[in-house]
């Protein structure tokens, strides 16, 4: 039996739509072993699909197929701490769990690069799957077949504080609201900021982050789908966040905060409750530099 620990991820990081993502210290756990049938259960009270639609199983089956093998069955026990459909990479965590577990069961025939590519093909974009596997901040370009990526470990005095609402937003819906075309000016607006984000994060020029997270490709459209979002941003800036952005496809809003700003999370929760936004949970996280871990149990 293998035990897999997979981190939550925050994608886009403002302007880096479908290209930038980082791993967070917030984990799902999956216990996995080969079995002659499907035996899937939740190890907590979170409901998961227990049949062939299960994403961990489907991803494991894909990896077996790539290796010319048939997966007859699978025993899975899932602990789902990462909330679903909230922009924190819960689907990617399932995909990575399935791939890493299946690869281990077959004796590690695929390389890390292979897993990054396969995960992006399953998910359609690499900005959650790659950091979920690799950890750190990952810059990734998916050319349709292969992912060209760089992982950078981040050791900063920054906290990532997630404001997670009590409603879901499906990625398909949050992608369907985006424009099919954008202007040259907007493209330049975004690419310059995406580049500024990683450079500023990695060199400690945090005063740039507020400018770097602005974008014209997705956040203005998605904001309309997230009631309370604007107010959450305003409150985060009032309490001294360096930057705030919609995490992945939303609806979670992520604030980047200095570790010296000790009571940010408490102040945030108090202000949200006072503003009638009591359904928003506040969770203080940091960057995970390890990525997915698998152990024998
Ligand atoms: N880059 C993706 C998006 C992340 O924004 O739609 C969500 O899966």
pLDDT at 44: 94
Given this model, what pLDDT does residue 255 score?
98
Contact 123, 129 (CB under 8 A): yes
255 is in an annotated binding site: no
Atom in ligand 1 nearest the alpha carbon of residue 11: 4
The pLDDT, as a whole number, for residue 173 is 96
Task: Judge whether 83 is annotated as a binding position.
Answer: yes
Among the listed residues 107, 102, 108, 136, the one whose alpha carbon sits nearest the alpha carbon of residue 122: 102
Q: How far is the CA of 178 from the centre of ligand 1 (A)?
A: 11
Name the closest-CA residue to atom 4, ligand 1: 248
89 CA closest ligand 1 atom index: 8
Residues 23, 290: Cα–Cα separation, whole Å: 9
Alpha helices in 183-279 (DSSP H): 184-203, 209-212, 219-223, 229-238, 264-274
Percent of the chain past pLDDT 70, that is, above it, reads: 100
User: Mean pLDDT of all residues in the chain?
Assistant: 97
Residue 167: pLDDT band with limits 50, 70, 90: very high
State yes or no: 69 annotated in a binding site. no
- Tell how far the Cα of 55 is from the centroid of ligand 1, in angstroms: 17
SS3 state of residue 47:
coil
Task: Choose which residue among 127, 176, 177 to substitute to test ligand 1 binding: the one with the highest number of ligand atoms within 8 A of its C-beta.
Answer: 127
Q: Using CA positions, which residue lies closest to atom 3 of ligand 1? A: 249
271 assigned binding-site residue: no
Predicted pLDDT at 33: 96
**pLDDT tens track for 244-277:** 999 999 999 999 999 999 999 999 999 999 999 9
- Ligand 1 environment, Cβ below 6 A: 11-12, 17-18, 125, 127-128, 171, 174-175, 218, 248-249
Per residue, the 3-state secondary structure of 81-141, as one string, reads CCCCCCCCCHHHHHHHHHHHHHHHHCCCCCCHHHHHHHHHHHHCCCCCHHHHHHCCEEEEE
Residues near 92 by beta carbon (within 8 Å), at least 6 away in sequence: 9, 119, 123, 128, 129, 132
Cis? peptide before 162, omega within 30° of 0: no
What confidence tier does 129 reach under pLDDT thresholds 50, 70, 90?
Answer: very high
Share of the chain above pLDDT 90, in %: 98
Residues 274 and 235 sit within 8 Å (Cβ to Cβ): no
Are 2-153+288-296 and 158-285 in the same CATH fold?
A: no
Pocket test for ligand 1, best of 13, 171, 172, 246 (most atoms within 8 A of CB): 171
Q: Which pLDDT does position 42 carry in this prediction?
A: 96
- Which pLDDT does position 7 carry in this prediction? 98
Q: Can you name the CATH fold of 158-285?
A: Alpha-Beta Plaits (3.30.70)
Interval 68-119: pLDDT, tens: 999 999 999 999 999 999 999 999 999 999 999 999 999 999 999 999 999 9
Q: What are the structural domain ranges in the chain?
A: 2-153+288-296, 158-285
Predicted TM-score (pTM) above 0.85: yes
Fold topology of 2-153+288-296: Ribosomal Protein S5; domain 2 (3.30.230)
Kind and range of the H or E run holding 40: strand 38-42
| pLDDT band for position 10 (cuts 50, 70, 90) | very high
Element (H, E) at 175: helix 171-176
pLDDT range class, residue 220, cuts 50, 70, 90: very high
Mean pLDDT of 174-190: 97
């Amino acid at each position: 039996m293998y035990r897999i620990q997979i981190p939550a991820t925050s994608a886009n990081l403002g302007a880096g739509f479908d290209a930038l993502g980082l791993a967070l210290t917030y984990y799902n756990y999956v216990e996995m072993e080969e079995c002659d049938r499907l035996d899937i259960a939740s190890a907590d009270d979170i409901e998961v699909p227990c049949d062939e639609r299960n994403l961990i199983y489907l991803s494991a089956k894909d990896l077996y197929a790539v290796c010319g093998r048939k997966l007859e069955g699978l025993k899975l026990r899932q602990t789902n701490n990462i909330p679903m459909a909230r922009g924190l990479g819960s689907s990617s965590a399932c995909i990575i769990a399935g791939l890493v577990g299946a690869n281990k069961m077959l004796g590690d025939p695929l390389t890390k690069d292979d897993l990054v590519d396969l995960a992006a093909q399953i998910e359609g974009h690499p900005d959650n799957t790659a950091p979920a596997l690799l950890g750190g901040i990952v810059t990734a370009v998916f050319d349709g077949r292969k992912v060209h990526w760089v992982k950078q470990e981040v050791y900063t005095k920054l906290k990532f504080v997630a404001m997670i609402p009590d409603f879901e937003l499906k990625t398909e819906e949050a992608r369907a609201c985006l424009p099919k075309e954008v202007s040259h000016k907007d493209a330049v607006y975004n690419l310059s900021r995406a580049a500024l984000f990683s450079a500023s994060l990695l060199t400690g020029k945090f005063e740039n982050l507020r400018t770097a997270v602005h974008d014209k490709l997705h956040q203005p459209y998605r904001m309309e789908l997230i009631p309370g979002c604007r107010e959450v941003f305003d409150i985060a800036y009032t309490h001294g966040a360096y930057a705030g952005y919609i995490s992945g496809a939303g609806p979670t809003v992520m604030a980047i905060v200095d570790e010296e700003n000790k009571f940010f999370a408490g102040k945030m929760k108090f202000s949200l409750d006072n503003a009638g936004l009591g359904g928003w949970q506040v969770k203080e996280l940091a960057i995970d530099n390890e990525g997915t871990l698998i152990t024998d149990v």
